[in-house]
Structure 1
Amino acid sequence: MLESARSRLKAWTVAGIGTAAAIAVAGVLGAFGARHEPLPVLAPASRIDTGEWLLRPLKAYVTAEKYAYGTLLKPGGKALVLELEMTNRTAKSTKDYFDVLQASPATVDPATKPFIVLTRDSTMSPELHPGMPERMAYIWQLPDGAAAPASFGLTVIRKTYKPRDNLYGLPGWFNPTPAGTLTIAVGAGPDSADIQP
């Protein structure tokens, strides 16, 4: 009986030491595995391929006008506007562009989603047709009392096309991942010059 108790105690001790060692090794490997390569820095005037979209930033500015491309701003508020050329690279019309750009939380409240407008007629969130470049405006309401930034950062999100997804076996754009970061200078107003390549 005593020998049996000793055997069990020895087995538990060895198991405990083994578990602690496994946890320690996993922690060390996890710490090294958590290191990520920095994202590529994208040129502000470059054409950026996100899979679904070809983007070309044109200009950014802050406006305190009552309307920005038909979008009503809060009284006394300001909006950060980014104009860019967007080309739909897919085979059908889509408006899957709401998450292709993520503004830096240092400039814009992450909970604030931009209004997205077609600049030529102020249509809100239109579907864009394949192969037709369109000038679009992303409009973020700035926090009350915020000063106009000299520049702001964006993360560009890329998706991958799959002819068949794992769940429904249908084609689509999946796996959004950061493609790179972009820093855009902010001009003095809507009449600011476009970014020159």
Structure 2
Amino acid sequence: MFKTARSRFQTWITAGAGTIAALFVAGLMGAFGALPAHVPPRLPADAAIDAGRWRVKPVRAYVSRAKVYGVPLKPGQKALVLEADMTNRTAQSDKAYFNVFTPDGLALPDGLPMVALTRDSTLTPELHPGMTERMAYVWPLAGDTAVPASLNFGVTAEIFKPRDNLYGMPGWFNPYRLGTVTLPVAELPVTDWPANGS
């Protein structure tokens, strides 16, 4: 009888402790879940930004309703264009720059942009180490897409690893959103379309 009562008491104590521990863990998880998500910082729109393998400096953003820098548009489309000075910070020529900039809040029918040199309209060129080039990111949009007067562009960076976990080779990995740069967006009249866009 005494052993039965004692075992019941131990069972209640154990169950109570387990319940308290579960409630404590659930409370902690709820508290951490309620914390605000990390918001990437605002980046300067008038200064160079180190984004992993690239150093970038946004120059201007605008909307074009005609072919720009050799990128043709389908009937009824327009293009959002971001021009930026880009420097390859690595030791070899590279063109892994398509994801560096992403406009926020717009439906992008083609996903990745076309990217061209502004000086001669060469599409998707390799950028050589240490050489700064002005590049145009061109995103085709539906003609009726509302583009705000100022737009946030996410900037993606990568992390250099001397040895990756799979092959033990050096490279750039783990893309992440470094921050956001905000630029005014102009709608260029026909006479102001870039000369290389014809």
Q: Is the TM value for this pair above 0.5? A: yes
In the alignment, which residue of structure 2 is the partner of 1:23?
A: 26
- How does the TM-score come out when normalised to structure 2? 0.81
| Cα distance in structure 2, aligned partners of 1:101 and 1:145 | 22
In the alignment, which residue of structure 2 is the partner of 1:136?
A: 135
Deviations 1:114-173 (CA, angstroms, capped at 9, x unpaired): 111222332322221111111211011223412443221112122222211222211111
Q: Secondary structure at the match of 1:21?
A: helix
In the alignment, which residue of structure 1 is the partner of 2:95?
A: 95
- How does the TM-score come out when normalised to structure 1? 0.81
In the alignment, which residue of structure 2 is the partner of 1:127?
A: 126
Map 1:4-153 onto structure 2 (within 5 A). Answer: 6=8, 9-10=11-12, 11-32=14-35, 34-36=36-38, 38-65=39-66, 67-105=67-105, 107-109=106-108, 112-153=111-152
Q: Secondary structure at the match of 2:44?
A: coil
Question: For structure 1, which runs of at least 5 residues remain unmatched after alignment?
Answer: none
Q: Secondary structure at the match of 2:77?
A: coil
Question: For structure 2, which runs of at least 5 residues remain unmatched after alignment?
Answer: none
Q: Secondary structure at the match of 1:78?
A: strand
- From the superposition, tell whether residues 113 and 17 of structure 1 become closer, same or farther in structure 2 (CA, over 3 Å): same
Q: Letter of the 1:18 partner, please give it.
A: A
* Greater mean alpha carbon deviation, residues 171-180 or residues 73-82: 171-180
Q: Secondary structure at the match of 1:87?
A: strand
| Cα distance in structure 2, aligned partners of 1:40 and 1:24 | 29
Aligned Cα root-mean-square deviation (Å): 2.6
In the alignment, which residue of structure 2 is the partner of 1:178?
A: 177
In the alignment, which residue of structure 1 is the partner of 2:160?
A: 161
Structure showing greater Rg: 2
- From the superposition, tell whether residues 143 and 5 of structure 1 become closer, same or farther in structure 2 (CA, over 3 Å): farther
Q: CA deviation at 1:110?
A: 8.5
